[in-house]
Amino acid sequence: MRAAARMVLRPWPMLAVTAGAGLLVLGFAGWALLRIPVPPVVTAAGAPASLVLEARDGAGFAARGTLRGEPVQAASLPQPLATAVIAIEDRRFLEHGGIDLRGIARAAWRNATGDRRPEGASTITQQLARMNWLSQERSLTRKVQEALLSVWLERQLSKEEILARYLNAAYFGAGAVGVDAAARRYFGKPAGEVSLAEAALLAGLLRAPSALSPIRNREGAETRAGLVLGALQETGGATPEAVAAARAAPVALQAPPEMLPGRGYFADWAEAEARRLVGPAGIDLMVRTTLDPRLQDLAERVIATRLDRDGARLKAGQAALLALAPDGAVLAAVGGRDYAASQFSRITQARRQPGSLFKLFVYAAALEAGFRPDQVVQDQPITIGDWSPGNANGRFRGPVTLRDAFAHSINTVAVQLQEAAGRPQVAAIAHRLGVTGEIGLNPSMALGTSGATLAEMTAAYGSVGFGQRIEPWLVQEVRARDRALYTRPTAREGTPPLPAAVQQGLLDMMLAAVRDGTGRAARLDRPVAGKTGTTQDSRDAWFIGMTADAVVGVWVGNDDNSPMADVSGGGLPAAIWHDFMAEADKLRTAAAPSAATAPPEAAATPAERIEGVPGLVDTGTLVIEGRLVRLSGVAGSAGDFLQPMAQWIAGRPAQCRAEADASWRCRVEGRDLSELVLSNGGGRATAEAAPELKRAEAAARRQRLGVWENAR
């Protein structure tokens, strides 16, 4: 009995142990509470706006930045999204106080028994606490902190406020933070307008947003959405009939696809341009660009094919291609061989020596000084100071015309012309046509020893070829929700960068360079004007050429400036150019409008305007919106030029203004159609044609283009 009594009278050690353990738990909880980090203050104004990039046809092709949408409000939680999230993430959300002990026990039991039905132990409140204050590490300290914060949040906020904050902070994949951004990203609608099937898909992303993104893993996302619909029916969040209808309704995605790697160069350039145009913006943006997806894909394919086949043999590691419309719109831009390996753009960031491409500015200065394309000069040895330039073939031709000297890229003639016209005048013309870098006024300047970018040189050649100053541009419109923040102004005719006679003379010589000179590898079955460029030891090789509808520049070289194996501008670059343009012509032919049947001619009042995609009766007669439109100053032809003209129009609208004589001056992407036809020999000028149109006809006659091919 005494022994038993002594045992009954010994509770104090156990109480002491229990109390000590309790104090340790409280102390650990207090220590964990004190170590909860204070979240940084983040303001929307400090973060750049997200943007989605669209091609010229409106199809999305890339998304940049983090989309945030509009925050949902506790007083108007979007349904059925809120119900779907509760069903799959925390079905006892409305009942527990931040920690769901029953849910923890149920999840533990299912894990122990191998039951793989969706069940988590973390409540929505715990997930919100983790997103706002804690890291993703798995530790006892973090779990205690999460539990303490969850209880505190439940005491401070209503259930609606907790759920709203969670929906606004959760990541749904594809760069979308918040449920409204996700709804807009995937379905093109705000969160309050999603269907039950769409809500199930979004709610299913919360567990693994990157792995289950429907853009990358449509099958996985739909399987998970099916589990969400099952949970909705099980919890009473949706009727069996509604769930059955949702399962039967396919979800249509409106999100842009994952960006193809090669388009990254264009996307980088367009994103920078869009942000420059609209300035800091705290809202999601939609950017309509000038990208032609078919031409972009073609450019990437041509460069990859040529470099894979010839790059190693020719020791050429990189290539870039830029295609511009006559008004400077960027149709395609490939800044290198592999965007994933290097995001450095050889179009806009690389300043390389242009070599003989620079001779365009030399000959422009010479023509302004009074020289003529058919004027004879001497290809002979020349020495300036201690420098004696030679020609690529090591020989001298004696008397040659300027046209032949340009076509065959004779160095000695270019240097003589530079010295005659004046180095400052040459540099001034280069700057006038868009070269921005410093140009050293030394004798070798004529041979392209000062750096320039492919974008600058391509635009400069386009400015000469199309007779108006052009600069590359990529952004047509920037929108935020339902309003436009920027719309590109309608192009206005500016002052031509060069006198008409100089521009026509340069075009004459560029045509000769492709027809008879160093650019022969770029010849097509229609007129091509262009120029090759090669630097010392073949460290850079260029070809820039143009047709009536585009100017395209190609550069080939190595990032470390190492020499290639005798690669010249008339070799690999001209071959890439030819491959691209020949295939582009096939694409245009497939999309070209058929010749129109002429309707009765309708009277036009002076200054009347009409716009639409034209059909062609002949090269001087269009049909627009059911009306016959006769081009001012053009006696049209139904001959060989009709099909290339249809290819060039390729579904693009024409803007036309009626003249006093009831004829029309029409423009397509800034290019005057009357001048286009006459300068390419597609027709003859009428007696009433404007002076500039008669000059265009005279240039085509001198070059024996089109209808003038056999003229005497």
Cα–Cα distances in Å, from 283 out to 215, 323, 482? 23, 32, 12
Q: How far apart are CA 91 and CA 122, in angstroms?
A: 11
- How long is the chain? 712
CA angle 24, 25, 30 (to 5 degrees): 95
Residue whose token pair is 């007696």: 687
Q: Assess whether 356 carries a catalytic annotation.
A: yes
Q: Do residues 614 and 622 lie in contact, with contact meaning Cβ atoms separated by under 8 Å?
A: yes
Q: Do residues 207 and 178 lie in contact, with contact meaning Cβ atoms separated by under 8 Å?
A: no
Q: Assess whether 675 carries a catalytic annotation.
A: no
Residues 6+ apart with CB under 8 A from 397: 379, 404, 408, 410
CA neighbor of 117 nearest in space, from 91, 83, 151: 91
Catalytic residue chosen out of the listed positions 50, 122, 150, 356: 356
Q: How far apart are CA 308 and CA 353, in angstroms?
A: 25
Per DSSP, helices labelled H in 179-288 are 179-187, 196-205, 218-235, 240-248, 264-278
Catalytic residue chosen out of the listed positions 54, 89, 146, 659: 89
Which residues lie across from 62 on neighbouring strands?
53
Per DSSP, helices labelled H in 408-539 are 411-421, 423-432, 454-466, 500-515
Which of the 8 DSSP states describes residue 97? S
Which residues lie across from 621 on neighbouring strands?
618, 630
Q: How far apart are CA 667 and CA 411, in angstroms?
A: 39
Helix axes 293-306, 572-591, angle to 10 degrees: 150
CA neighbor of 117 nearest in space, from 133, 130, 132, 106: 106
Q: How many CA atoms lie within 13 A of 16 on its CB side?
A: 4
Q: Give the SS3 label for residue 81.
A: helix
Q: Do residues 657 and 648 lie in contact, with contact meaning Cβ atoms separated by under 8 Å?
A: no
Sign of CA dihedral 589, 595, 601, 602: negative
Q: Which residues are catalytically annotated?
A: 89, 356
